[in-house]
Amino acid sequence: MTARPRRILPAIIVSQFAGVSIWFAGNAVVADLQRQWGIAAEAVGHITSAVQLGFICGTLVFAFLAIADRFSPRFVFFTCAMLGALANLAIVVTGGGLTLLLVLRFAAGFFLAGIYPVGMKIASGWYQKDLGHALGFLVGALVLGTAFPHLLKALGAAWPWQGVLLGASGMAALGGLVMLALVPDGPFLAKGARFDPGALAEIFRSPGFRSSVFGYFGHMWELYAFWAFVPLVLAARAPGHDTSMWSFVVIAAGFAGCVAGGFVSLRTGSARVAAWQLAASGACCLASPWLLQGPEWRVLAFLVFWGIVVVGDSPQFSALNAAYAPRERVGSALTIGNCIGFAITVASIQLLAAALSWMPAEYLFLLLAPGPLLGLLALRPLLRVSIRG
């Protein structure tokens, strides 16, 4: 068996982090676009939803055409990182307007489908029994990359908003180059089964997969809506602090939850780790109207804790879905599960965007509580089983 070079996991982590840095780039500069382009306050929901819809369409197209099987996954990753960087950068050279912005954000989401999932496939070519442990780091890299535009905005407070988009695009391009140069195709890389959308009914007949994927759906109802509206809540409830910097801190805190959850899952199983973090996150939803009021230090501490647990269950749901998917339908099951999950994020994001006009900021996250609660109910059958990464 080919020895695994020590650089492989660090290189994939860096590439994944850099490649997904365009995901929330539009959110990081939305306040500037509202001032300069006259975009309405609720546009933050539309901007985020456009990326999610692009990702869903891209995932389906890549799966249906078996792009990452017909071509080297590292070359697919590199190409999509470059095209995603260009779609993000194109916002800078346009004349403005919400419609064009949404089209470009959709395009960025489409190419992200060749970065995030393909990065996971590349990792699976190098990791087998320890893939679950590696996924903790890879999803952590996604978290840091998602938060990165907010850090750019905070560090470059004197920069024009175009500088933030330029920085995020540069990072995405760098991620593609690192993957192409440092990560060859692994010895365990396997061809995936052809995507079959007609497998939907068969997939959901599996009790284990149904339990894990419905738990994942509850998790997704909360995750991206929380990330999208953290800056708005910070601006309203902690106005004395740098909104961009604290948005980065809150979202990036999820890296700790992902990595720690990966280590703990080796001993307790993925289902228990996912349930613990989902329960903690659901409790945060319910407690948010009280804990988002009062001293700003308490608001910040609460949001950082929530940032840790809101995404720490994500790698464990990935491991559970892969473990319980019907063996002959693994590729189709994961694709369909991911697409439904991201479609759910669009619904929750749009719900919060609509609620902005009548609901105070400190009550906004109450609308996310049903997701974790229903997810925990779905997970109950799996809590007696230990799925080890």
389 and 252 within one domain: yes
Q: How many domains does the chain fold into? A: 2
The per-residue pLDDT for 387 is 43
pLDDT tens-digit map of 20-64? 999 999 989 888 888 888 887 778 899 999 999 999 999 999 888
Q: Do the domain assignments include residue 193?
A: no
388 and 243 within one domain: yes
Task: Reduce the DSSP state of residue 253 to 3 states and report it.
Answer: coil
CA distance 370 to 374: 6
Q: For 73-90, what is the mean pLDDT?
A: 95
- pTM for the whole thing? 0.89
The per-residue pLDDT for 54 is 97
Q: What is the CATH number of the domain that holds 146?
A: 1.20.1250.20
Average pLDDT, the chain: 89
The per-residue pLDDT for 85 is 97
Amino acid letter for position 388: R
363 and 255 within one domain: yes
Contact between residue 163 and residue 156 where contact means Cβ atoms under 8 Å apart: yes
Give how far the C-alpha of residue 75 lies from the chain's centroid of Cα atoms, to the nearest Å. 22
The band of 356, judged by pLDDT with boundaries at 50, 70 and 90, is: confident
Last residue of a domain, one of 184, 206, 239: 184
- Element containing residue 136 per DSSP (H, E): helix 131-155
Q: Residues near 355 by Cβ (< 8 Å), separated by ≥ 6?
A: 364, 367
CA distance 290 to 157: 31
119 and 210 within one domain: no
207 and 134 within one domain: no
The band of 11, judged by pLDDT with boundaries at 50, 70 and 90, is: very high
Q: Residues near 60 by Cβ (< 8 Å), separated by ≥ 6?
A: 335, 339
pLDDT tens-digit map of 115-134? 988 888 888 788 766 666 67
Q: Do the domain assignments include residue 292?
A: yes
The per-residue pLDDT for 191 is 67
End-to-end CA distance of the chain: 21
Contact between residue 59 and residue 339 where contact means Cβ atoms under 8 Å apart: yes
Residue 330 has pLDDT above 80, yes or no: no
Residue 389 has pLDDT above 60, yes or no: no
Q: Do the domain assignments include residue 191?
A: no
Amino acid letter for position 266: L
The per-residue pLDDT for 23 is 95
The band of 335, judged by pLDDT with boundaries at 50, 70 and 90, is: confident
212 and 178 within one domain: no
Please report the sign of the dihedral spanned by the C-alpha atoms of residue 133, residue 137, residue 143, residue 145. Answer: negative
Residue 1 has pLDDT above 80, yes or no: no
pLDDT tens-digit map of 138-175? 888 999 999 999 999 898 766 788 999 999 999 999 99
Amino acid letter for position 305: F
> Residue 338 is part of which domain span?
198-389
Number of C-beta neighbours around residue 254 at 10 A: 28
pLDDT tens-digit map of 193-221? 667 777 677 778 889 999 999 999 999 99
Query: Which pair of structure tokens corresponds to residue 282?
Result: 């659901």
293 and 206 within one domain: yes
Q: Do the domain assignments include residue 111?
A: yes
Q: For 103-111, what is the mean pLDDT?
A: 96
The per-residue pLDDT for 40 is 79
Q: Do the domain assignments include residue 147?
A: yes
The per-residue pLDDT for 167 is 94
Amino acid letter for position 179: M
203 and 180 within one domain: no
Last residue of a domain, one of 184, 206, 240: 184
User: For the chain, what's the residue count?
Assistant: 389
Phi-psi region of 159 (alpha: psi -120 to 50; beta: other; left: phi over 0): beta
